[in-house]
Amino acid sequence: MAHYFKEPSHTFSEYLLVPGYTSEDCIPANVSLETPLVKFKKGEESAIKLSIPLVSAIMQSVSNDTMAIALAREGGISFIYCSQSVEDEAAMVAKVKAYKAGFVVSDSNVTPENTLSDVVEIVSATGHNTLAVTDNGKHDGKLLGIVTSRDYRVSRMSPDTLVKEFMTPFDKLITAPLGTSLKEANDIIWENKLNSLPIIDENANLKYLVFRKDYSEHKDNPKELLDSQKRYVVGAGINTLDYEKRVPALIEAGADVLCIDSSEGYSCWQKKTLEYIRKNYGDSVKVGAGNVVDREGFMFLAEAGADFIKVGIGGGSICITREQKGIGRGQATALIDVVEARNEYYEKTGVYIPVCSDGGIVHDYHMTLALAMGADFMMLGRYFARFDESPTSKLNINGTYVKEYWGEGSNRARNWQRYDLGGKTGLSFEEGVDSYVTYAGNLRDNVAKSLYKVKSTMCDFGVTNIPDLQKKAKITLVSATSIVEGGYHDVMLKTTSGK
């Protein structure tokens, strides 16, 4: 006979936090959100710690090298998507590791033969106002000039005007040689009142751009996530099919941590993948696994050697796995069950395996709930897809700015490896949708706002770190009527039309 759970599974929206005593020194400025990323033994520390409990999802529309750099600046980590060739994913990882704080590899480039129309299109798509002009239109081509918003006026110039006619040519640029330190570059910028400084090699090939604005940003990021060589920390997704080729390439490229990308992780395929990594790399390569939704799934992946375990099936905003296959569990219930298993495993073995809550985060307060319920960090897709730094284009739909967002289980992603059941060669049906999300601006400001809410709520319990939150939090299940009561009700909202 089938096993029936006695209680229904619940989502984060069905819970509220009950505040406790707040002491005088418990203010958001004193709250630390540091949290472990990979497993460690009792009495030891995790080999990789996050400054903030946020990682970006292994998705085409979310996590590329641009997102990875931006999130590492804030203290989180991105997992570069694996639904691309091994070579392309490794190149993205290498680009993040080669990035020097303040030294930007130009990703908006044109040739002298491009037109003003091309420039406007690139600026609209990327939001970048500084374009390098190189002989081949690539980031490492011979530098011939620079185009900024000061070099052209769309209203007074023909769209067919060639870049070479309005760019600032090389002989009028101030540049610096490769090997220039960040301090030296910034001194040149300030002394010459520049907005950007090209860094070139002995053959005038462009290597980096240093921006005035990045100097202050670097100073303002004390929690940025760096490795022992002061390079940004970056993760990478892998699948359970080509791991024997993908894993070595990603490690060679410099990936700090890997994560198996799968809609359902309680499988022999994940075990085989983990066994391959442990056999060939021992514990030197860190790898997360998942997703699971119950104790049995956690214990299976823990014994298989996972460094962290992801929780959640069907809770993502673009995921339709539950609708298509009828599998999954309410995210809050799944997390509570897996955290209990994690704690049991820790008591039994002395090994603490961090839990990642993946999916189901709709409101910022859900982040606090997930942490209070025992998650060490959260993997987010929709949340990050809204920002400037995500890989997709910003569009104007009926007067509203949006960004594209699609699931890895959609036909657009064509990521059938994620749903492999031992040899199938394509998607038989979709487990994700293709959609838009409302554009929200830059990552830095939005993450700061969201995490300030988390810190403020933690202060309502009188705690200043995540472990204490998990010990002291009081959580209550609420009724449907209580949920309605929690929003505005029995009032008429004022309109903003001016009528």
Q: Residues with Cβ < 8 Å from 278, sequence gap 6 or more?
A: 305
Q: What single-letter amino acid sits at 246?
A: R
Contact 304, 269 (CB under 8 A): no
Q: Residues with Cβ < 8 Å from 281, sequence gap 6 or more?
A: 247, 251
Give the CA distances from residue 51 to residues 6, 41, 62, 190, in Å, rounded to whole numbers and listed in that order.
38, 20, 20, 31
Contact 348, 41 (CB under 8 A): no
Please tell me the predicted confidence (pLDDT) of residue 229. 83
Q: What is the arrangement of strands in the sheet containing 168-169, beginning at the earlier edge strand?
A: 109-110, 130-134, 143-148, 168-169
Known catalytic residue: 319?
Answer: yes
Spell out the alpha helix ranges (H) of 155-253: 163-166, 182-191, 212-219, 243-253
Q: What single-letter amino acid sits at 476?
A: T
How far is Cα 317 from Cα 437, in angstroms, rounded to an integer? 10
State both tokens at 40: 């460690």
How far is Cα 163 from Cα 118, in angstroms, rounded to an integer? 9
How far is Cα 68 from Cα 224, in angstroms, rounded to an integer? 11
* Tokens 């069907």 found at: 314
How far is Cα 95 from Cα 498, in angstroms, rounded to an integer? 50
How far is Cα 275 from Cα 243, in angstroms, rounded to an integer? 11
Please tell me the predicted confidence (pLDDT) of residue 413. 46
Catalytic residue among 73, 246, 259, 319: 319
Enumerate residue ranges in the chain where pLDDT < 70.
101, 213-220, 315-325, 407-434, 488, 496-499
Please tell me the predicted confidence (pLDDT) of residue 422. 53
Known catalytic residue: 278?
Answer: no
State both tokens at 42: 């009792």
Nearest-10 Cα torsion for 37, 40, 42, 44:
-90
Backbone angles phi, psi at 352, to 5 degrees: -100, 120
Q: What is the pLDDT of residues 70-108, one digit of tens each?
A: 999 999 999 999 999 999 999 999 999 988 767 888 989
- Counting every residue written for the chain, the total comes to 499
Catalytic residue among 73, 329, 382, 418: 418
Please tell me the predicted confidence (pLDDT) of residue 317. 59
Please tell me the predicted confidence (pLDDT) of residue 493. 77
Please tell me the predicted confidence (pLDDT) of residue 412. 55
